[in-house]
Amino acid sequence: MRVYNFSAGPAMIPDEVMQIAQSEFTDYKSSGSGIMELSHRGALFTEVIKRAESNIRELMNISDDYAICFVQGGAWMQFGMVPMNLLNGGSADYVDTGVWASAAIKEAARYGTVNVIASSKETKYDRIPEIRHWKPTEGAKYLHITSNNTIYGTQYHEFPPVVKGVPMVSDMSSDIMSRVINVNDFGLIYAGLQKNLGPSGMAMVIVRKDLVKDEELPKWVPSMLRYNTYIEKENLFNTPPTFAIYMLALVTDWLKKQGGLKVVENINNTKSEAIYEILNQSSFYTSPVQPSARSRMNVVFRLPTEELEAKFVKESNAAGMTGLKGHRSAGGIRASIYNAVPLKGVEKLVDFMIDFEKKNS
């Protein structure tokens, strides 16, 4: 039976990518060694890391004004690394739209003043706060947002306007490369790989080079936590996470084969609309998210009782659809439909939802 993984992360990786990785696992390019055994400074891995960066630049239309850094520690590391490099004892504006946004706020407060200029906490994170009501702080070093909120199923469908002198920073862990964005609107973008780009344990950082100069940083910031270290050493200051970078290269190869991010975005829209159509028509399933903020990556919904939700999870799992249980802090059901989840998987889920409603309403 074909199993579809709807987990929020670590998440599904394209079948084609997994098959290539399997075939090359013990003997990469007839070298006699697996990719994880190869020197990070050797010719074979040099091609991999350069291909990964080149693919990312092509897919996201990234100019030479920006560096691409491969940093261990995932998005959690970036919650602290961003303010270490950009805050420098000043103040920054943050928008609180969920658990991960609030975690970023808590970490940033260790290094300077954090101004929460908008929040949807009072309405249980069911929306993105109206941008026109935000109250930016004069002199803020940067503005931080979380583009997609994995747990509560909300997403920015419109980004804040660019403000001169206040670079926008975004945690895009759960919707990176799922749609077309203008990188030039941002000063820094970071994303853990484990949802749309590969295995867990690493973050990809896209940062405007003029924002991260070593001479402007406090001496106490360690070398491994300075973006400029990665830029100057071309991601080879230390032994990088070679397997994660290899998988990232394969995933971005696959994205290019799909036709690029506009094609991928259209497919993702089709997938999410298929589920939201059921939610909009049903009185059995309900969405806790305001329609204008519903995520195209993480579709969350509730059933009439927690007992029915448990039954839904159990029966869907038996039917070959895993990872549908909602986050422990939010409950309910969550279908994470990242790039690698095929349309066939979403169609199977929709058919299951229709059938489950008929049998249990």
> Helix, strand, or coil here: 278?
helix
Residue 130 in tokens:
């109206």
Residue 15's nearest CA partner among 348, 355, 352, 342 is: 342
- Beta bridge partners, 119, equal 96
27 as an active site residue: the answer is: no
How do beta strands 188-192 and 202-208 pair? antiparallel
195 as an active site residue: the answer is: yes
- Beta bridge partners, 348, equal none
Cα gap 152→150, rounded to integer Å: 6
Residue pointed to by tokens 């970490």: 107
What are the residues whose beta carbons fall under 8 Å from the beta carbon of 253, sequence distance 6 or more? 17, 51, 55
Catalytic residue among 171, 175, 254, 271: 171
Catalytic residue among 93, 96, 100, 126: 100
> Helix, strand, or coil here: 322?
strand
Catalytic residue among 141, 195, 271, 325: 195
Please compute, for residue 92, the number of CA atoms within 13 A of its CA located in the half-sphere on the CB side: 31
Please compute, for residue 307, the number of CA atoms within 13 A of its CA located in the half-sphere on the CB side: 2
3-state helix, strand, coil in the chain (%, to 5): 40, 15, 40
100 as an active site residue: the answer is: yes
What are the residues whose beta carbons fall under 8 Å from the beta carbon of 315, sequence distance 6 or more? 352, 356
Which are the catalytic amino acids? 100, 171, 195
